Amino acid sequence: AKKVLLFGDIGIDDTVALIYAHFNDEIDIVGVVADYGNVSREDAMSNIRYLFNLFNFPNNIPVISGAEMPLTAELPTYYPEIHGVHGLGPIVPDDFEFVIENFLEIVNIIKMYKDELIIVNIGRLTSLATLFILYKELMGNVKEFYIMGGAFGVPGNVTPVAEANFHADPVAVKIVLSYANNVTIIPLNATQKAIVTPEMVDYIDHFGKTAIFKSLMNFYTEFYQERDPTLQGSPVHDALTLMAVIHPEMFTFNSRSIEIGQHLEGPARGQSIADIRPGDQFYDNEKNHRIAFDLDYETFFHNFLSVMTGK
Ligand code: BDR
Ligand code: CA
Protein backbone atom coordinates (compact mmCIF):
# COMPACT_ATOMS: atom_id res chain seq x y z
CA ALA A 1 0.00 0.00 0.00
CA LYS A 2 1.07 3.59 -0.62
CA LYS A 3 2.40 5.31 2.49
CA VAL A 4 0.59 8.62 2.81
CA LEU A 5 1.22 11.49 5.20
CA LEU A 6 -1.89 13.66 5.03
CA PHE A 7 -1.99 17.42 5.73
CA GLY A 8 -5.53 18.72 6.15
CA ASP A 9 -7.79 21.43 7.53
CA ILE A 10 -10.31 18.82 8.57
CA GLY A 11 -13.69 19.97 7.32
CA ILE A 12 -16.22 17.90 5.43
CA ASP A 13 -14.40 16.93 2.22
CA ASP A 14 -11.20 16.32 4.21
CA THR A 15 -13.24 13.94 6.37
CA VAL A 16 -14.56 12.18 3.29
CA ALA A 17 -10.93 11.72 2.20
CA LEU A 18 -10.10 10.13 5.58
CA ILE A 19 -13.10 7.80 5.37
CA TYR A 20 -12.13 6.85 1.81
CA ALA A 21 -8.58 6.09 2.96
CA HIS A 22 -9.90 4.02 5.84
CA PHE A 23 -11.84 1.75 3.46
CA ASN A 24 -9.07 1.50 0.90
CA ASP A 25 -6.37 -1.13 1.35
CA GLU A 26 -4.15 0.52 -1.23
CA ILE A 27 -3.67 3.56 1.00
CA ASP A 28 -1.83 3.41 4.29
CA ILE A 29 -2.17 6.65 6.27
CA VAL A 30 1.05 6.99 8.30
CA GLY A 31 0.20 10.31 9.94
CA VAL A 32 -2.20 13.23 9.77
CA VAL A 33 -1.12 16.84 10.19
CA ALA A 34 -3.89 19.13 11.49
CA ASP A 35 -3.85 22.59 9.93
CA TYR A 36 -5.97 25.72 10.19
CA GLY A 37 -8.19 26.39 7.18
CA ASN A 38 -11.82 25.34 6.96
CA VAL A 39 -11.66 25.42 10.77
CA SER A 40 -9.07 26.29 13.39
CA ARG A 41 -6.11 23.99 13.98
CA GLU A 42 -7.67 23.00 17.34
CA ASP A 43 -10.91 21.96 15.65
CA ALA A 44 -8.95 20.13 12.96
CA MET A 45 -7.15 18.15 15.70
CA SER A 46 -10.28 17.28 17.62
CA ASN A 47 -12.02 16.22 14.40
CA ILE A 48 -9.18 13.83 13.59
CA ARG A 49 -9.36 12.31 17.07
CA TYR A 50 -13.11 11.98 16.80
CA LEU A 51 -12.92 10.32 13.37
CA PHE A 52 -10.09 7.99 14.38
CA ASN A 53 -12.17 6.83 17.28
CA LEU A 54 -15.43 6.53 15.34
CA PHE A 55 -13.85 4.52 12.53
CA ASN A 56 -11.39 2.58 14.66
CA PHE A 57 -8.28 3.74 12.90
CA PRO A 58 -5.16 1.91 14.13
CA ASN A 59 -4.13 3.79 17.26
CA ASN A 60 -0.50 4.09 16.28
CA ILE A 61 -1.19 6.68 13.57
CA PRO A 62 0.31 9.95 14.79
CA VAL A 63 -1.85 13.08 14.83
CA ILE A 64 0.43 16.07 14.45
CA SER A 65 -0.18 19.68 15.32
CA GLY A 66 0.41 21.80 12.20
CA ALA A 67 0.12 25.49 11.40
CA GLU A 68 -2.42 27.77 13.03
CA MET A 69 -1.95 30.78 10.79
CA PRO A 70 -0.59 31.66 7.35
CA LEU A 71 2.85 33.05 6.47
CA THR A 72 1.15 36.27 5.33
CA ALA A 73 0.90 37.67 8.89
CA GLU A 74 -2.90 37.66 8.71
CA LEU A 75 -5.44 36.02 10.93
CA PRO A 76 -7.01 32.98 9.26
CA THR A 77 -10.56 33.04 7.88
CA TYR A 78 -12.60 29.91 8.65
CA TYR A 79 -15.61 28.61 6.70
CA PRO A 80 -18.35 27.45 9.11
CA GLU A 81 -21.06 28.08 6.50
CA ILE A 82 -19.58 25.35 4.28
CA HIS A 83 -18.19 22.90 6.84
CA GLY A 84 -20.14 23.58 10.05
CA VAL A 85 -19.10 25.34 13.26
CA HIS A 86 -16.55 22.64 14.15
CA GLY A 87 -15.94 21.39 10.60
CA LEU A 88 -18.18 18.33 10.75
CA GLY A 89 -21.46 19.86 9.58
CA PRO A 90 -24.04 19.57 12.35
CA ILE A 91 -21.84 17.28 14.47
CA VAL A 92 -20.13 18.43 17.64
CA PRO A 93 -17.20 16.02 18.13
CA ASP A 94 -16.77 14.43 21.55
CA ASP A 95 -13.56 15.17 23.31
CA PHE A 96 -11.15 12.27 23.61
CA GLU A 97 -7.90 11.92 25.46
CA PHE A 98 -5.33 11.72 22.73
CA VAL A 99 -1.64 12.26 22.24
CA ILE A 100 -0.90 15.12 19.86
CA GLU A 101 2.54 14.94 18.33
CA ASN A 102 4.76 17.93 17.92
CA PHE A 103 5.39 19.31 14.41
CA LEU A 104 8.92 17.91 14.44
CA GLU A 105 7.51 14.38 14.45
CA ILE A 106 7.12 14.92 10.70
CA VAL A 107 10.90 14.78 10.40
CA ASN A 108 10.89 11.29 11.95
CA ILE A 109 8.13 10.14 9.61
CA ILE A 110 10.03 11.39 6.55
CA LYS A 111 13.17 9.60 7.72
CA MET A 112 11.28 6.44 8.63
CA TYR A 113 9.59 6.00 5.23
CA LYS A 114 12.55 7.23 3.23
CA ASP A 115 11.85 7.33 -0.54
CA GLU A 116 8.46 5.70 -0.07
CA LEU A 117 6.55 8.55 1.51
CA ILE A 118 3.82 10.37 -0.39
CA ILE A 119 2.59 13.67 1.00
CA VAL A 120 -1.02 14.56 0.24
CA ASN A 121 -1.91 18.15 1.13
CA ILE A 122 -5.66 18.86 1.21
CA GLY A 123 -5.67 22.15 3.10
CA ARG A 124 -3.65 25.36 3.29
CA LEU A 125 0.02 24.95 2.39
CA THR A 126 1.55 26.68 5.41
CA SER A 127 2.82 23.58 7.23
CA LEU A 128 4.28 22.12 4.07
CA ALA A 129 6.02 25.41 3.23
CA THR A 130 7.41 25.55 6.77
CA LEU A 131 8.99 22.14 6.25
CA PHE A 132 10.75 23.44 3.15
CA ILE A 133 11.92 26.50 5.09
CA LEU A 134 13.36 24.31 7.85
CA TYR A 135 14.39 21.11 6.05
CA LYS A 136 14.75 21.70 2.33
CA GLU A 137 17.20 18.87 1.86
CA LEU A 138 15.26 16.33 3.88
CA MET A 139 12.13 17.17 1.87
CA GLY A 140 14.01 15.87 -1.17
CA ASN A 141 13.41 12.38 0.25
CA VAL A 142 9.67 12.63 -0.16
CA LYS A 143 8.68 10.53 -3.16
CA GLU A 144 5.70 12.55 -4.40
CA PHE A 145 3.42 15.42 -3.44
CA TYR A 146 -0.31 15.58 -4.26
CA ILE A 147 -1.82 18.99 -3.63
CA MET A 148 -5.46 20.03 -3.76
CA GLY A 149 -5.45 23.61 -4.91
CA GLY A 150 -5.69 26.16 -7.66
CA ALA A 151 -8.00 26.91 -10.56
CA PHE A 152 -6.47 27.14 -14.05
CA GLY A 153 -8.53 29.20 -16.44
CA VAL A 154 -11.72 28.28 -14.58
CA PRO A 155 -13.50 30.32 -11.86
CA GLY A 156 -12.17 30.23 -8.32
CA ASN A 157 -14.25 29.43 -5.26
CA VAL A 158 -13.23 32.20 -2.82
CA THR A 159 -12.64 34.96 -5.37
CA PRO A 160 -13.45 35.09 -9.08
CA VAL A 161 -10.00 33.64 -9.80
CA ALA A 162 -8.68 31.98 -6.64
CA GLU A 163 -9.25 28.63 -4.96
CA ALA A 164 -9.39 28.52 -1.14
CA ASN A 165 -6.22 26.52 -0.33
CA PHE A 166 -4.06 28.70 -2.56
CA HIS A 167 -5.81 31.95 -1.65
CA ALA A 168 -5.35 31.57 2.11
CA ASP A 169 -1.54 31.51 1.95
CA PRO A 170 -0.14 32.35 -1.49
CA VAL A 171 3.34 32.78 0.01
CA ALA A 172 3.30 29.18 1.19
CA VAL A 173 2.16 27.95 -2.22
CA LYS A 174 5.02 29.78 -3.89
CA ILE A 175 7.56 28.23 -1.54
CA VAL A 176 6.23 24.70 -2.03
CA LEU A 177 5.99 24.97 -5.82
CA SER A 178 9.50 26.42 -6.01
CA TYR A 179 11.21 23.66 -4.03
CA ALA A 180 9.13 20.47 -4.23
CA ASN A 181 9.83 17.81 -6.85
CA ASN A 182 7.33 15.32 -8.27
CA VAL A 183 4.30 17.48 -7.60
CA THR A 184 0.80 16.67 -8.83
CA ILE A 185 -1.76 19.45 -8.53
CA ILE A 186 -5.44 18.56 -8.34
CA PRO A 187 -7.18 21.89 -8.94
CA LEU A 188 -10.82 22.93 -9.19
CA ASN A 189 -10.66 22.07 -12.91
CA ALA A 190 -10.90 18.41 -11.84
CA THR A 191 -12.36 18.58 -8.32
CA GLN A 192 -15.44 20.61 -9.18
CA LYS A 193 -16.42 17.69 -11.41
CA ALA A 194 -16.13 15.17 -8.55
CA ILE A 195 -19.77 15.60 -7.65
CA VAL A 196 -21.37 13.30 -5.13
CA THR A 197 -25.15 13.35 -5.59
CA PRO A 198 -27.79 12.70 -2.90
CA GLU A 199 -28.51 9.36 -4.63
CA MET A 200 -24.88 8.33 -4.24
CA VAL A 201 -24.97 9.41 -0.60
CA ASP A 202 -28.05 7.26 0.03
CA TYR A 203 -26.48 4.28 -1.70
CA ILE A 204 -23.31 4.60 0.36
CA ASP A 205 -25.28 5.15 3.54
CA HIS A 206 -27.31 2.04 2.84
CA PHE A 207 -24.58 -0.39 1.76
CA GLY A 208 -21.51 1.07 3.49
CA LYS A 209 -20.49 1.40 7.11
CA THR A 210 -19.83 5.09 6.82
CA ALA A 211 -21.62 6.36 9.97
CA ILE A 212 -21.80 10.17 9.85
CA PHE A 213 -21.09 10.40 6.11
CA LYS A 214 -24.70 11.13 5.22
CA SER A 215 -25.23 13.93 7.71
CA LEU A 216 -21.94 15.54 6.67
CA MET A 217 -22.84 15.37 2.98
CA ASN A 218 -26.36 16.70 3.54
CA PHE A 219 -24.95 19.76 5.27
CA TYR A 220 -22.26 20.31 2.64
CA THR A 221 -24.60 19.77 -0.33
CA GLU A 222 -27.12 22.23 1.08
CA PHE A 223 -24.45 24.93 1.02
CA TYR A 224 -23.29 24.09 -2.50
CA GLN A 225 -26.78 23.90 -3.96
CA GLU A 226 -27.78 27.16 -2.36
CA ARG A 227 -24.80 28.79 -4.03
CA ASP A 228 -25.45 27.09 -7.36
CA PRO A 229 -28.93 25.54 -7.75
CA THR A 230 -27.89 23.85 -11.00
CA LEU A 231 -25.45 21.55 -9.12
CA GLN A 232 -26.52 17.90 -8.86
CA GLY A 233 -24.69 17.43 -5.55
CA SER A 234 -21.43 18.64 -4.02
CA PRO A 235 -17.76 18.26 -4.96
CA VAL A 236 -15.48 16.11 -2.80
CA HIS A 237 -12.27 18.00 -3.65
CA ASP A 238 -10.10 16.34 -1.04
CA ALA A 239 -11.24 12.76 -1.49
CA LEU A 240 -10.53 13.14 -5.21
CA THR A 241 -7.01 14.36 -4.47
CA LEU A 242 -6.32 11.26 -2.40
CA MET A 243 -7.79 9.07 -5.13
CA ALA A 244 -5.24 10.51 -7.57
CA VAL A 245 -2.46 8.72 -5.68
CA ILE A 246 -3.82 5.32 -6.68
CA HIS A 247 -5.97 6.15 -9.72
CA PRO A 248 -4.09 8.52 -12.01
CA GLU A 249 -6.07 7.08 -14.95
CA MET A 250 -9.07 9.14 -13.81
CA PHE A 251 -7.38 12.37 -14.85
CA THR A 252 -6.12 14.22 -17.87
CA PHE A 253 -2.75 15.66 -16.88
CA ASN A 254 -0.48 18.23 -18.45
CA SER A 255 2.85 19.49 -17.15
CA ARG A 256 3.22 23.22 -16.82
CA SER A 257 5.07 25.72 -14.67
CA ILE A 258 2.79 27.59 -12.29
CA GLU A 259 2.74 31.13 -10.99
CA ILE A 260 0.73 32.22 -7.96
CA GLY A 261 -0.59 35.75 -7.49
CA GLN A 262 1.37 37.19 -4.57
CA HIS A 263 -0.36 40.55 -4.11
CA LEU A 264 -2.36 40.14 -0.94
CA GLU A 265 -4.53 43.14 -1.77
CA GLY A 266 -6.33 43.17 -5.08
CA PRO A 267 -8.09 40.72 -7.36
CA ALA A 268 -5.20 38.42 -8.32
CA ARG A 269 -4.39 37.18 -4.82
CA GLY A 270 -3.81 33.42 -4.85
CA GLN A 271 -4.59 33.13 -8.54
CA SER A 272 -2.89 30.15 -10.15
CA ILE A 273 -1.57 30.70 -13.63
CA ALA A 274 -0.22 28.06 -15.98
CA ASP A 275 0.37 28.61 -19.64
CA ILE A 276 -2.51 26.79 -21.31
CA ARG A 277 -2.31 28.52 -24.67
CA PRO A 278 -2.55 26.05 -27.53
CA GLY A 279 0.69 25.04 -29.25
CA ASP A 280 3.81 23.68 -27.60
CA GLN A 281 6.14 26.67 -27.94
CA PHE A 282 5.39 27.91 -24.41
CA TYR A 283 5.93 24.71 -22.44
CA ASP A 284 9.65 24.61 -22.08
CA ASN A 285 9.76 26.10 -18.61
CA GLU A 286 12.23 25.94 -15.75
CA LYS A 287 10.06 23.95 -13.41
CA ASN A 288 6.97 22.04 -14.40
CA HIS A 289 4.34 20.40 -12.25
CA ARG A 290 1.77 17.81 -13.25
CA ILE A 291 -1.68 19.43 -13.27
CA ALA A 292 -5.00 17.60 -13.52
CA PHE A 293 -7.02 19.56 -16.06
CA ASP A 294 -9.90 17.13 -16.36
CA LEU A 295 -11.64 14.23 -14.63
CA ASP A 296 -13.26 11.14 -16.09
CA TYR A 297 -16.47 11.18 -14.05
CA GLU A 298 -17.49 7.59 -14.81
CA THR A 299 -14.29 6.18 -13.35
CA PHE A 300 -14.56 8.44 -10.32
CA PHE A 301 -18.19 7.45 -9.77
CA HIS A 302 -17.55 3.71 -9.83
CA ASN A 303 -14.41 3.79 -7.75
CA PHE A 304 -15.88 6.07 -5.10
CA LEU A 305 -19.03 3.99 -4.65
CA SER A 306 -17.14 0.74 -4.64
CA VAL A 307 -14.56 1.82 -2.05
CA MET A 308 -17.11 3.50 0.22
CA THR A 309 -19.42 0.46 0.24
CA GLY A 310 -16.83 -2.31 -0.06
CA LYS A 311 -18.79 -3.71 -3.05
C1 BDR B 1 -10.45 23.21 -0.70
O2 BDR B 1 -10.56 24.20 0.34
C3 BDR B 1 -10.99 23.58 1.53
O4 BDR B 1 -11.93 24.39 2.13
C5 BDR B 1 -11.60 22.27 1.12
O6 BDR B 1 -11.57 21.34 2.18
C7 BDR B 1 -10.72 21.89 -0.03
O8 BDR B 1 -9.51 21.36 0.45
C9 BDR B 1 -11.41 23.53 -1.81
O10 BDR B 1 -11.11 24.76 -2.38
CA1 CA C 1 -9.42 20.71 2.80
Q: What is the pLDDT of residue 30?
A: 98
Q: Whose CA is nearest to atom 4 of ligand 1?
A: 38
| Any ligand 1 atom below 6 A from CB of 238 | yes
Q: For residue 123, report the distance from its CA to the centre of ligand 1, in Å.
A: 6
Q: Tell me the C-alpha to C-alpha distance, in Å, between residue 63 and each of 7, 29, 35, 100, 123.
A: 10, 11, 11, 6, 15
| Any ligand 1 atom below 6 A from CB of 148 | yes
Q: For residue 14, report the distance from its CA to the centre of ligand 2, in Å.
A: 5
- Ligand 1 atom closest to the CA of 191, numbered from 1: 9
| Any ligand 1 atom below 6 A from CB of 167 | no
Q: What is the pLDDT of residue 284?
A: 59
Q: Using CA atoms, how far apart are residues 140 and 68, in angstroms rounded to an integer?
A: 25
| Any ligand 1 atom below 6 A from CB of 162 | no
Q: Which helix (DSSP H) or strand (DSSP E) does residue 135 occupy?
A: helix 126-139
Q: What is the pLDDT of residue 277?
A: 84
Which residues, 6+ apart, have CB-to-CB distance to 277 below 8 Å?
none
Q: Which helix (DSSP H) or strand (DSSP E) does residue 147 occupy?
A: strand 144-148
| 69 neighbors 76 (Cβ within 8 angstroms) | yes
| Any ligand 1 atom below 6 A from CB of 35 | no
Q: What is the pLDDT of residue 295?
A: 98
pLDDT tens, N- to C-terminus, the chain (311 residues): 999 999 999 999 999 999 999 999 999 999 999 999 999 999 999 999 999 999 999 989 999 999 999 999 999 999 999 999 999 999 999 887 889 999 999 999 999 998 999 999 999 999 999 999 999 999 999 999 999 999 999 999 999 999 999 999 999 999 999 999 999 999 999 999 999 999 999 999 999 999 899 999 999 999 999 999 999 999 999 999 999 999 999 999 999 999 999 999 999 999 999 988 887 666 656 789 999 999 999 999 999 999 999 99
Among 235, 115, 113, 128, which residue's Cα sits nearest to residue 186? 235
Q: What is the pLDDT of residue 287?
A: 84
| Any ligand 1 atom below 6 A from CB of 290 | no
| Any ligand 1 atom below 6 A from CB of 38 | yes
Q: What is the pLDDT of residue 60?
A: 92
Q: What is the pLDDT of residue 305?
A: 98
Q: Tell me the C-alpha to C-alpha distance, in Å, between residue 16 and each of 20, 143, 184.
A: 6, 24, 20
| 130 neighbors 113 (Cβ within 8 angstroms) | no
Q: Using CA atoms, how far apart are residues 64 and 48, in angstroms rounded to an integer?
A: 10
| Any ligand 1 atom below 6 A from CB of 22 | no
Q: Whose CA is nearest to atom 9 of ligand 1?
A: 164
Which ligand is nearest the CA of 165, by number? 1
Q: For residue 278, report the distance from its CA to the centre of ligand 2, in Å.
A: 32
Which ligand is nearest the CA of 163, by number? 1
Q: What is the pLDDT of residue 286?
A: 72
| Dihedral pair phi/psi, residue 273, rounded to 5° | -120, 125
Q: For residue 238, report the distance from its CA to the centre of ligand 1, in Å.
A: 7
